Structure 1
Amino acid sequence: MGTLSMLKKRPLTVLVVEDDDELRDILHAEFELEGLTVLTATDGSEAVTTVRRLKPDLILMDIMMPVMSGIEATEILKGDEETRHIPIVMLTAAGNKEDIVKGLEVGAIDYITKPFFMPELKARLRAILQHKIMYDELKKIQDTLIKNERLRTMSALTEAVQGSVNEPLTLILGRIHLLRRKEGVISKDDLRTLENAANKIKDIINHLGIMECLYPTPLLGESDFVDLPFLN
């Protein structure tokens, strides 16, 4: 089986969060041999800062650490929209079942007990990274689809607005032309017609502003049909 770095063309990054200097150095060296880019942190607080700044592909996090535990850090990262998708594997002492359960409950994808068998650890990380790569590719495709849907939606919206605005505008311009021929004599009916047409345009513009606030990003799969009742 290939090295971890062969899973993807771009360099993969792993963050090792471990307060034991010796173990952290061992993991750093082993993962570098696999062709990975390795980041390190000594506690949960440092890990949260590093993850938010550098967005690694995977996090290997010890549970029991000073300043902030791995469980606390995992809960923070999984509660953040920008980092919740990053897989976290917990490192824990054998027999510490309660912490294992807590770690999984707050969002860890897997756990490894110490002492661990290095080939097994690498095999687990390889499987997790493969899933992360698939997630990234699907996310990229989804983002492209959403962008295309937004363009289609805006195109349909523009066409609908043009059709609806043109009618009252044509009416206004026509009445203005007639008024000019009447040498400035404006009847109440003419005023009412112009006012209604202007209000129609105003309503359309106001509704467009409301739609922009409510739907800044179209939902995937829900923008094939554009319902614009205010244009009727």
Structure 2
Amino acid sequence: MAAQTPQTILIIEDDPVIRGILHMNLTDQGYDVLSAEDGLQGVRTAKETQPGIILMDIRLPNITGWEATRRLKVEPKTAQIPIIALTAQSTSKDLHRCFESGCDAFMTKPIQFTQLFTKIEMLLNRSLDHSQGIAE
């Protein structure tokens, strides 16, 4: 089910190749895409634009994806934005840390785009349902 207006996705990823691949695949699916190259820039961009969802690399310059997620989840303007952690680390400790920091979902690299699109739609729909529930 496609949304009436394009959803904006913020990619916070320091690797330009991965960022470009994500951007291309997401725009091909009809999303508006913003990007940031490090954790601090990502937090700033999220606060300024309030995207529909954030794809968060974990190993980032300046501050880690874990720290960026914590900062966004305590900020009232960004606390409800779903965050999907993207990482090459896939141990149970990493998964625990993902949810402990406030991420809503977890994906390992290399990215399986069919799974990513499913998670994005699930989280966007959940966010939409939550915001409509508050308005009613």
In the alignment, structure 2 segments of 5+ residues that lack a partner are: none
1:28 to 3, 23, 28: 23
Alpha-carbon RMSD across the aligned residues, in angstroms, is 1.3
Deviations 1:82-121 (A, max 9, x none): 1101110100114344333222102101100011211111
1:104 to 83, 99, 102: 99
Tell me if structure 2 keeps the 8 A contact 1:63–1:99: no
1:67 to 62, 68, 71: 62
1:56 to 46, 51, 57: 51
Distance 1:87 1:114 in 2: 19
Tell me if structure 2 keeps the 8 A contact 1:15–1:39: yes
Tell me if structure 2 keeps the 8 A contact 1:92–1:100: no
1:12 to 7, 20, 24: 7
The answer to which structure has the higher strand fraction is 2
**Structure 1 residue 39 corresponds to structure 2 residue 10:** no
Distance 2:124 2:72 in 1: 18
Larger Rg over CA atoms:
1
Output the TM-score relative to the length of structure 2: 0.94
Pairwise CA distance, 1:136: 2.0
The answer to which structure has the higher helix fraction is 1
One-letter code aligned to 2:6: P
Output the TM-score relative to the length of structure 1: 0.56
One-letter code aligned to 1:118: F
Distance 1:94 1:74 in 2: 17
**Identical aligned residues as a percent:** 34
1:131 to 126, 130, 134: 126
Distance 1:119 1:94 in 2: 20
